[in-house]
Amino acid sequence: MSKTQQIIPTVRPCKIDSATVTEPVDLVIVIDTSPSMKDEASDLSNAAAEAIVSASSSCPCDLRVIWLGIEGTWKKTNFNRTVRDHLLKECQVSKGDLRARKRGQLPDAGAQEDAARTIEDISTYFDWRPGATRSIFYLGDEALEAGGDRTEEKDIIAANKAIAKAQQAGVKVHTYFGTTKSKFKDSLQQEYARLAKETSGQAFSDRDSIGGFTEVLQKVICNSRPVGIKLEIQQPLPCFELRSDRQPLAVQGSETIAIVASNCYSNVTFRSLTAVVSALRKDGTPIPNLADGKPAITIKPSPEIAFGDLLSIGSHNSESTGEVLREIVIETNSPNSADYTLKIEYSYRAEFDFQGGDDFALGL
Question: Environment class of residue 284 by beta-carbon count within 10 Å: exposed (0-12), middle (13-18) or buried (19+)?
Answer: exposed
| Residues of the chain above pLDDT 90, percent | 24
Residues 261, 269: Cα–Cα separation, whole Å: 12
Q: What are the tens digits of pLDDT across the range 203-244?
A: 988 888 777 788 888 888 888 876 655 566 788 899 998 888
Residues 32, 350: Cα–Cα separation, whole Å: 33
Highest mean pLDDT of the ranges 59-73, 84-98, 250-264, 336-350:
84-98
Domains of the chain: 21-224 (3.40.50), 239-352 (2.60.40.10)
Q: Is the pLDDT of residue 20 over 50?
A: no
Question: Once rounded to an integer, what is the mean pLDDT over residues 61-67?
Answer: 86
Q: Is the pLDDT of residue 283 over 80?
A: no
Query: Which comes out higher in pLDDT, residue 340 or 199?
Result: 199
Q: What are the tens digits of pLDDT across the range 313-363?
A: 875 554 455 689 999 998 888 877 667 888 888 888 888 888 888 777 776
CA neighbor of 270 nearest in space, from 235, 305, 241, 228 = 235
Q: Helix H segments across the chain? A: 38-58, 83-89, 115-125, 153-169, 185-197, 214-224
Question: Once rounded to an integer, what is the mean pLDDT over residues 278-302?
Answer: 84
Q: Is the pLDDT of residue 56 over 80?
A: no
Q: How high is the pLDDT of residue 337?
A: 67
CA neighbor of 275 nearest in space, from 331, 222, 326 = 326
- SS3 state at 23: coil
- Range of weakest confidence among 88-97, 276-285, 333-342: 333-342
Q: What is the DSSP letter of 235?
A: P
Going by C-beta distance under 8 Å and a sequence separation of 6 or more, which residues neighbour residue 130? none
Q: Is the pLDDT of residue 294 over 90?
A: no
Highest mean pLDDT of the ranges 69-78, 165-174, 175-184:
165-174
> Are the C-beta atoms of residues 164 and 123 closer than 8 Å to each other?
no
- SS3 state at 9: coil
Q: How high is the pLDDT of residue 230?
A: 59
Q: Is the pLDDT of residue 16 over 50?
A: no
Average pLDDT across the chain, whole number: 83
Residues 247, 313: Cα–Cα separation, whole Å: 30
Question: Once rounded to an integer, what is the mean pLDDT over residues 124-135?
Answer: 90
Q: Is the pLDDT of residue 292 over 70?
A: yes
Which residues on neighbouring strands pair with residue 261, listed in sequence order?
240, 324
Q: Is the pLDDT of residue 55 over 60?
A: yes
Which residues on neighbouring strands pair with residue 349, listed in sequence order?
271
Question: Once rounded to an integer, what is the mean pLDDT over residues 21-27?
Answer: 78
CA neighbor of 227 nearest in space, from 138, 133, 135 = 133
